[in-house]
A and B are shown apart, each in its own frame.
Chain A
Amino acid sequence: MERRAFLKAGGASLASALMGSGMLTWSARSEAATISQTLYITDGTKTMPDGVSVYVKGYGTTANTPLIPAPSIICQEGDTLSITVYNMLSVTHNLVIGGLVSGSAPIASTGDIAPGGNKTLTYTIPSGAAGSYLFYDNKTSYNRFLGLHGGLAIMPAGISNQLYSGSPTFVKQQFWILNDIDPALNTAVKNGTTIPTNFTPRYFTINGLSSRPPGAAGHGDPTIDALYDPRSRLSGHVGDRTLVRMLNTGMCSHAVHTHANHMEWLTDRGTIRPAVWKKDTLYLRNNLGKIDAIFPFEAPPDAYPPVTSGHFPMHLHDEMSQTAGGGLYQFGSMTELEFL
């Protein structure tokens, strides 16, 4: 795993608690800290699996390259977030941290950031706030679809292996941030023309990428192929229980389906489920729906002879999402579950 794939947090020096790419790593602290981050709202283009170039906006760590999603942030209850956002574009933007419960008001906001300006969001995280959050631009209803979104993980204070105090435990954690792209929207934003009112998404991403099957250009390239993106792919040995923080920033509801293991379903839309159900398919709502679930990395239970290794898909079962540009099955929102 390359160095940039790991988040280093914990200890006295906490200039930045975010990851470039790769899984979230975390060590609990006994003392609160200030987590500082600078982000730049920029635009650019992304090439879709069928070669179509789509205009995007994102929160980057440099003044000219959008990152989609933004680098994830992980912190713990009691920490203070200090996020400075520069708006490099010619229209007003913002950054809000969505509420824990889907549909509730954002818990923090930069307020409007004028073109060329910057604002700093400062927020001290109360106890009881542990969970998975989307930060995004809500200046319009559609800015988050363009790429202005990222994941924030708030850990319970002093705990490194639970989603919330007393939850089932895990040894790894990752985000799956899902988005749906209708290029008609992106083009209208780019050109300043009328925003469509009836979206029909044509591209589907997990952590900003679509999958590329064997034989396709980019297959196996972790910067192109969602099957191999270390932010998305779950890779582990039997017992490497992995918390997946699923955030739906897109337009469509999705059915998240894992092969090889059922998931332990912990939360729905920010609310802890009354009991942990084991599910092979989870209903991830649109309109900022979210789910936390643990992929347990147990030996696939129905194999004969028994096996402990293999490669399997996580794909969305609303199969329209498994396409690109109206065809190209296997070029949609899918990643790999790798049993080492």
Chain B
Amino acid sequence: MGMNGGSGGGGGGMGSACYVYPGAPATPGFVTPDVLFQRGIYMNGSMTFDDGNSVTIWGFTDLAAGGGGGMTGGSFPSPAMRVTEGQIVHTALTVNMMWMHTVHHHGIEPSQENDGVGHFSWDVTNGTYTYQWRPSHAGTYFYHCHTNTPLHAEMGMYGGLIVDPVPNPNDPPGTKRAFANGPIYDVEAIWAADEIDPAWHTLQWSAGTCGGDVGLNNLNPRYFIITGVDGASSALTNPGVAVTMQKGQRLLVRYICAGFHPQKIDFGGLTATVVASDGRPLPQAWQTTSIEAHSAERYDCIFQPTTTGTWTVTVTYYHWRSGAVLGTARTRINVV
């Protein structure tokens, strides 16, 4: 094990890789799963911002839905995974010989082989590795690549991961709960708040792994996004981000701090009832109008507005050292 995996590619340019651990072995204890996700990767996606500029994006594809593998584009964030507590899940990741990637299901706590951390198992290349896991706690998670993680996560290699509780047989069919015996919700939003430094988006997949200063200690974001949509203005109205709900309905916002700098999400005057964090119910719900969070934290927030109206939600991003405001991203909750 050790140095020198494949050659580079993706994001422009060749390059050698060091301290990568290529592999795609058989899954220990492989069984027939209840759910299968087939993930490929894409290395030539893009995101265009409200100012007209764009950057290269990498991510995962859904091979079952005909997603390509390699020099293609794909959705950003990567396709979400949704499973039910107690199911045996397979995430089959296929990567060709040009690159190495993994899937780490963040907050899911499987065996070492299935945790998707390169140097504790393997970086998948030239084949398929099937991650086998069985979620024991309903809640909000996300999955991301754990190879050259600062770069690959910044490049966009993440997607939502929701674990639903087993339906309560006493509930009417279709009832949605945040967790077993947890609050019922009618409308759901997944807000993954992230920041983009365009300077990082020109690097190749193994940048910096053999040494040399490629700037991975210094993230200077210029764009601030919510679930793949520019928070400058698009996210205010984008139907995949902004919420429109009926008065009297209950909204569950799954807030994911998907960037690397600390954030604060302010709900614009609405009060959130925070019922869970990091895939675990809170012992008592927490009422708050804003949440300070750092990279990879998740908070599940229930809203039940009692009047119609529009509330503007603002995520503020702070520099990890200086605390200076780096920028903001905004979306809306419209109650009609």
Interface residues of A (CB under 8 A from B): 50, 180, 198-202, 213-216, 251-255, 257, 259-262, 274-281, 283-284, 286, 300-305, 307, 310-313, 317-320, 322-323, 325-330
Contact = CB atoms under 8 A, between A and B. Distances in A.
Given A214-B2, A252-B320, A303 B211 contact: no
Contacts of B323: 253, 286
Interface in B247-296: 257, 260-262, 277-280, 282-284, 292-296
Given A262-B109, A305-B29, 11 more contacts: A202-B217, A213-B19, A253-B321, A262-B107, A278-B278, A319-B149, A320-B150, A326-B214, A329-B149, A329-B209, A330-B119
Contacts of A257: 106, 295-296
A302 B320 contact: no
A199 B154 CA distance: 22
Contacts of B277: 277, 279
Contacts of A278: 278, 280
Nearest to B219: A320
B29 A304 contact: yes
B295 A255 contact: yes
A291 B269 CA distance: 30
A280 B279 contact: yes
Contacts of A262: 107, 109, 278-280
Nearest to B119: A213
A302 B134 contact: yes
Contacts of B219: 320
Given A312-B112, A320-B320, A277 B19 contact: no
Contacts of B10: none
Interface in B196-231: 207-219
A15 B213 CA distance: 47
A304 B133 contact: yes
B109 to A, nearest CB: 4
B171 to A, nearest CB: 25
A318 B261 contact: yes
A330 B211 contact: no
Interface residues of B, number: 68
A329 B294 contact: no
B109 A322 contact: no
B148 A329 contact: yes
Given A50-B211, A302-B133, A320 B109 contact: no
Nearest to B208: A327
Contacts of B217: 200-202, 320, 323, 325-326
A283 B136 contact: no
Nearest to B209: A329
Contacts of B3: 215
B177 interface: no
B108 interface: yes
Contacts of B283: 275-277
Interface in B73-113: 88, 105-112
A277 B276 CA distance: 9
B112 A310 contact: yes
B132 A283 contact: no
A283 B294 contact: yes
A262 B283 CA distance: 15
B213 A216 contact: no
B135 interface: yes
Contacts of B301: none
A306 to B, nearest CB: 8
Interface in B125-162: 132-137, 148-151, 153-154
B296 A281 contact: yes
A320 B280 contact: no
Given A277-B280, A301-B136, A320-B320, A260 B109 contact: yes
Contact of B321 (A275, A286, A311, A313): A286
B333 interface: no
B114 interface: yes
A281 B278 contact: yes
